[in-house]
Amino acid sequence: MKHILITGSTDGIGKLTALKLAENGNAVYIHGRSEAKVNDTISAIKTASKNDNVKGFVADFSDLNAVKQMAEQIKNEVPSLDVLINNAGVLKTPSVKTKKGLDIRMAVNYLAPYILTENIISVLEKGSASRIVNLSSAAQSSVKKGILTGDVSISANEAYAQSKLALTMWSFYFAKQHPNITTIAVNPGSLLNTKMAKEAYGQYWSPAEKGVDILYNLAISEANKNESGKYFDNDKGSFSNAHPDTYNEDKIEELITLTRTLVS
């Protein structure tokens, strides 16, 4: 039995992956920004999986202080984690800025998982053969300083692509810093049948299960335990090269330095 936390798991592929992992007898931690939805999801998964080892955390990832509080709660309540799936993400939202003036996609898709992960390393290190799976995207675009700091506004799609590249760059950096934790970035598949794709594009190309299956495999399968610091492209069905910036040490250093300043 593995202890697994999946962020953004009250709907979409996060919820379906949580269900699949629970059905296979793992202890699963759900996360969402609505307490009611988190509780409903826990009940639904417990019933469907016949597994009572399902708990949850509530935090609005557009509020970075709430992410820090959730990390503290995890450190207090979770003895060890074997798997962290950083799945929470937003694309189209009613408000494009957080209360602190950051781009909401950059905050939720990159800064929140960065803060959460960096603050619960001690819990992950207590797990056995721990893994982190970071949800990237086929959409990856060079990170501009003004977008990261919230000083410049751009389209939702472009901000999303920059946030996903930032996550992938940090993923590769984190893998080098923590060789004892297998860290993999993944594009789970373009336009899967999820709420996000339908709201953003009004269509989908592939069933949500395509994304669920790859998240499950990357999180659990023995075959992937030596693939740390890599990017899996589920549109190709294989490990693949990410955006060139993910292999540029100077750009990664610049990103991490700026990120540390932003979140401190």
Residue 229: phi and psi, rounded to 5, are: 75, 25
Residues 221, 123, 174, 163: is their CA dihedral positive or negative? positive
- Which of 105-119, 189-203, 206-220 is modeled with the greatest confidence? 105-119
**Eight-class DSSP state of 204:** -
Query: CATH homologous superfamily of domain 3-263?
Result: NAD(P)-binding Rossmann-like Domain (3.40.50.720)
pLDDT in tens, 73-89: 999 999 999 999 999 99
Q: How far apart, in whole angstroms, are the C-alpha atoms of residue 170 and residue 161?
A: 14
Domain segments of the chain: what residues? 3-263
The answer to whether 212 and 16 are in contact (CB under 8 A) is yes
pLDDT in tens, 4-41: 999 999 988 999 999 999 999 999 999 999 999 999 99
Lookup: tokens for 10 = 């009250």
Q: For residue 197, what pLDDT band results from cuts at 50, 70 and 90?
A: very low
Q: Is the pLDDT of residue 183 over 90?
A: yes
Could you tell me whether strands 230-233 and 238-240 are parallel, antiparallel, or unpaired per DSSP bridges?
A: antiparallel
171-187: average pLDDT = 97
The pLDDT value given to residue 191? 53
**Which of the two residues, 207 and 70, has the higher pLDDT score?**
70
Q: How far apart, in whole angstroms, are the C-alpha atoms of residue 163 and residue 108?
A: 9
The conformational region for residue 150 under phi > 0 = left, psi -120 to 50 = alpha, else beta, is left
The pLDDT value given to residue 192? 52
The answer to whether 139 and 109 are in contact (CB under 8 A) is no
The pLDDT value given to residue 202? 54
Q: Is the pLDDT of residue 100 over 90?
A: yes
**Eight-class DSSP state of 193:** S
